[in-house]
Structure 1
Amino acid sequence: MSQKNETTILALALLLTVGIVGGGFWWFTKNGVKLGNTSISNQEAGGNSSLQDRISFGEKSFTPSDISPVKKEGVQAIAAKSYDKAIANLTAALKLNRNDPEALIFLNNTRIGSSKSYTIVASVPFGTDPNISLEILRGIAQAQNEINTSGGVKGVPLRVGIANDDDNPEIAKQIASNLVNNSEVLGVVGPNTSDSTLAAGTIYTSGQLVAISPTSTSVKISNFSRYVFRTVPSDFMAARSLANYMVKTLQKKNAVVFFNSQSNYSQSLKSEFVSSVSLEGGEVSSEFDLSKADFSAAKSLEQATKQGAEVLMLAANTATLDKALQVIQINQKKLTLLAGDDVYTAKTLEVGREQAVGMVVAVPWHIEGDPKSDFPQKSRQLWGGDVSWRSALSYDATVALIEALKRNPTRSGVQQALTSSEFFASGASGTIRFLASGDRNAPVQLVKIVPGSRSRTGYDFEPVR
């Protein structure tokens, strides 16, 4: 491919990316939260803002500044402890935008008022990735709403706080210290990335406060701590499924991997895939680091082709997704595409479009993966559209904490319940049980990009049957 053509494709991809981010697009929303500037700027995210500005039970909003006036009034009413006014405002706000999980969490908190409650906190990256934060919060909000509308945890309602950690390991540690020192907090859902979970996990462990990550997949989290759990399968499971699919189903033996050496998740998925392909009788002939300043999608693909590669495995993380999308565009469907769960985004469908059709992605859950589950119907009813795997696994993390609270509503009681061999709870993605390693023993779902209308992009992720 000529340098001119490569430049044209990259420019188009960049324009599409800018358009999507600016428009705040996400596929399961009918009247989505508009994405503008978050309440905490990226400059402030570097650590200049007060830690208290990063944690809210309703008195401040982390969604963008152009939220509806009625929601803004509701948040101000909570801060002023005018709970009746806040309930009216937030109820009206949800009628305007039913798929705003922050508003639903604040509404349920406000209904509790100053009454006795059990408290958990979500640690999410609102300042850097509001879409992923909203996905995670949808699962938490749904679980909170279900337990509180059915009488609470043995009569006691669940209060949920939201902490904005920006997917920054240092900020995640500061938030962890704050939550550990707040004796009312009995559990944490999060953090999002493996790097933040590993960093904050040391603080949660020393403070004996349970954290359940719904989205951190690095193999380093296995056996990391008796206080750190996850409802998402580890990268070992995803890598094994992709390698098996490549060698057994596709009958292909030679792959190259694109990864980010600066990301724990990306390194983990890459290493596990290399090992799994080797065990299946294939080989990974090259590894390309997306984080390098001189990375070139065109040169990497040229080298891969010369080495006889049949498959491109994209172990990109969120920070390197744009470069992975460049690889998809320049590949022009010549080599088969495989990918890890961070590539499962609306942006991949929008930017990849026809060039991404046929790509197989390993995810922990898909809304059409289990016809027997009632969670898809309930979530569609609540939010007015489909939810992602992040919502389902966040729901499961919250349900696990609720079940543990039912058994013993103390920090030590929650930890003992989750580590018990007798513990189980029913979640969105089946039964929730934890191994001694803190991992959940659960399979992954392979999905494929196909033309479709469900996502409103012209393309969908559908389960590989």
Structure 2
Amino acid sequence: MSQKNETAVLALALVLTVGIVGVGAWWFANQNSGGNLNILTPNQKNDSNLSIQERMSFGEKTLITGDITPLKKEGIQALAAQNYAKAITNLESSLKLKLNDPEAVIYLNNARIGSGKNYTIVASLPVGTDPNVALEILRGIAQAQNEVNTSGAIKGVPLKVGIANDNDNPAISKQIAVSLVKNQQVLGVVGPNTSDATLAAGDIYNAEQLVAISPTSTSVKISNFSRYVFRTVPSDFMAARSLANYMVKKLQKKNAVVFFNSQSNYSQSLKSEFVSSVSLEGGQVSSEFDLSKTDFSAAKSIEQATKQGAEVLMLAANAETLDKALQVVQINQKKLNLLGGDDIYTVKTLEVGREQAVDMVLAVPWHIKGNSQSDFPQKSRQLWRADVSWRTALAYDATRALIAALERNPTRSGVQQALSSSDFSASGASGAVRFLPSGDRNTSVQLVKIVPGTRSRTGYDFEPLQ
């Protein structure tokens, strides 16, 4: 494609994005992010110098500073003053005004516990840098906490939840881990979010023997990384194998190229596993294009791929390189088949990709319509008044796993032994949660395809492949 045509296509993509961003944000709020009707942007203040104490809360301060109701603010102040009755009243009233606030649900449950006996876990999340992702994960944790505490608790002992803001920063995640392992009340951790943060903090959790379960870290480096680091999301090995199998068996294509970010552990992991999986299926990856390079050109990359006989473009982009991956989608003009990993599984792909993204197949951890037998979608809709994302579902699974482990043996070593047991099972969003000796979840991935549709209000939807 000529430079002139490339510029025209990118300009069209920009116009489309601007023209539908309002609709897309509405859907992202109501469908992908579990109904957060006020889309948050990263906190405007520079919080890089916050102390670890300022980054953590059990309800004495809010960490998600966007759109806080006056009643929630009063409830948090009451909780900080240990006026639990007032905190309960104010937080309950706040939730009547803003039904989908998971931080308020968690703090309300903590207020109901007051100074009583409890089992404590902490969520380590990118509250400051990616509050929408943090909210998605918190909804799963809050739902699990709500369910167990209103149905007899953990053999009569309620679950208390703390929140820590790690900004998806490996160094900060490590500092938070150091703080958490010193607090003997903490019996488990949900998180961190990214693979890089999980690997960094995992060194501390392993050394000090505190279990962490990440709902979202997919890098293969996490497999067998530590006896104390687990995850409820399938690894990149599972995603890559499913995509490679689909490419060779269903599409009957043998030659692919991969777009990835060499600066991302997740992206490198997915790319490498896909290359290996395609080879095992009898195909080949003829080229790899690094989206992080300053001189990256979508048009030149596709031109080179076409000359090499490529039939499939595999997008192993991460969140930071999604925009460049979507340039590839636009410039490809549906000429070559498109595959992608779970970081492509976002409303922005529907907004920008539109018709050019139709028939793209992604390997994702969970889809709300993927298991018709599960009652989780219905229960989550009742609580949050909207559909929830895969991050919510897998954070729910991580929390349910910790709850089931605490029921067996409410100590740090007991939790690890329970999760590692061959007969361990917890009831999750789409079935049983079980772990392999590697710490990986014993489960498969879901393939979804982009199709025209009305659910997202962008004109396009992700639909599960059977």
Q: Do these two structures clear the TM 0.5 threshold for a shared fold by scoring above it? A: yes
User: In the TM superposition, what is the alpha-carbon distance from 1:20 to its structure 2 partner?
Assistant: 4.7
User: In the TM superposition, what is the alpha-carbon distance from 1:16 to its structure 2 partner?
Assistant: 6.2
Hey, what does 1:359 align to over in structure 2? 360
For residues 124-155 of structure 1, what are the alpha-carbon distances to aligned partners after superposition, in whole Å with 9 as ceiling and x for unaligned? 11112112111111111110000001021000
**Secondary structure of the equivalent of 2:305?**
helix
CA gap 1:17/1:75 in 2 versus in 1, 3 angstroms? farther
Q: Is 1:256 matched up with 2:257? A: yes
Q: Is 1:3 matched up with 2:3? A: yes
CA gap 1:395/1:250 in 2 versus in 1, 3 angstroms? same
CA gap 1:37/1:212 in 2 versus in 1, 3 angstroms? closer
CA gap 1:309/1:49 in 2 versus in 1, 3 angstroms? same
User: In the TM superposition, what is the alpha-carbon distance from 1:215 to its structure 2 partner?
Assistant: 0.8
Hey, what does 1:26 align to over in structure 2? 29
Hey, what does 2:318 align to over in structure 1? 317
Hey, what does 1:336 align to over in structure 2? 337
**Secondary structure of the equivalent of 1:32?**
coil
Alignment map for 1:38-49 (pairs within 5 Å)? 38=43, 41=45, 43-45=46-48, 48-49=49-50
CA gap 1:297/1:222 in 2 versus in 1, 3 angstroms? same
Unaligned runs of 5+ in 2: none
**Secondary structure of the equivalent of 1:361?**
strand
CA gap 1:13/1:85 in 2 versus in 1, 3 angstroms? farther
TM-score (norm 2): 0.95
Partners of 2:29 and 2:36 within 8 A in 1: no
Hey, what does 1:60 align to over in structure 2? 61
Partners of 1:136 and 1:391 within 8 A in 2: yes
For residues 314-364 of structure 1, what are the alpha-carbon distances to aligned partners after superposition, in whole Å with 9 as ceiling and x for unaligned? 001111111111111111211111000111112212222222111101011
Hey, what does 2:295 align to over in structure 1? 294
Q: Is 1:392 matched up with 2:397? A: no
Equivalent residues, number: 461
**Secondary structure of the equivalent of 1:44?**
coil
Aligned amino acid, residue 70 of structure 2: P
**Secondary structure of the equivalent of 1:455?**
coil
Hey, what does 1:226 align to over in structure 2? 227
Hey, what does 1:101 align to over in structure 2? 102
Partners of 1:30 and 1:384 within 8 A in 2: yes
Unaligned runs of 5+ in 1: none
Partners of 2:361 and 2:450 within 8 A in 1: yes
Alignment map for 1:8-157 (pairs within 5 Å)? 8-11=8-11, 13-14=13-14, 20=21, 25-28=28-31, 29-30=34-35, 32-38=37-43, 41=45, 43-45=46-48, 48-157=49-158
For residues 19-43 of structure 1, what are the alpha-carbon distances to aligned partners after superposition, in whole Å with 9 as ceiling and x for unaligned? 85996843425552331452x73x3
Partners of 1:257 and 1:312 within 8 A in 2: yes
Partners of 1:266 and 1:315 within 8 A in 2: yes
For residues 397-416 of structure 1, what are the alpha-carbon distances to aligned partners after superposition, in whole Å with 9 as ceiling and x for unaligned? 10010001001111111111
Hey, what does 1:177 align to over in structure 2? 178
CA gap 1:14/1:199 in 2 versus in 1, 3 angstroms? farther
Partners of 1:36 and 1:66 within 8 A in 2: no
Partners of 2:244 and 2:278 within 8 A in 1: yes
CA gap 1:227/1:452 in 2 versus in 1, 3 angstroms? same
**Secondary structure of the equivalent of 1:85?**
helix
User: In the TM superposition, what is the alpha-carbon distance from 1:2 to its structure 2 partner?
Assistant: 3.4
Alignment map for 1:192-231 (pairs within 5 Å)? 192-231=193-232
User: In the TM superposition, what is the alpha-carbon distance from 1:271 to its structure 2 partner?
Assistant: 0.5
Partners of 1:34 and 1:64 within 8 A in 2: no
User: In the TM superposition, what is the alpha-carbon distance from 1:247 to its structure 2 partner?
Assistant: 0.5
**Secondary structure of the equivalent of 2:451?**
strand
Partners of 2:29 and 2:39 within 8 A in 1: no
Aligned amino acid, residue 425 of structure 1: A
Equivalents in 1 of 2:407, 2:67: separation in Å? 39
Partners of 1:167 and 1:192 within 8 A in 2: yes
Aligned amino acid, residue 289 of structure 2: F
CA gap 1:123/1:410 in 2 versus in 1, 3 angstroms? same
Equivalents in 2 of 1:31, 1:191: separation in Å? 21
CA gap 1:207/1:166 in 2 versus in 1, 3 angstroms? same
* Greater Cα offset, 175-184 or 18-27: 18-27
Equivalents in 2 of 1:396, 1:347: separation in Å? 26
TM-score (norm 1): 0.95
**Secondary structure of the equivalent of 1:191?**
coil
User: In the TM superposition, what is the alpha-carbon distance from 1:12 to its structure 2 partner?
Assistant: 5.0
User: In the TM superposition, what is the alpha-carbon distance from 1:166 to its structure 2 partner?
Assistant: 0.8
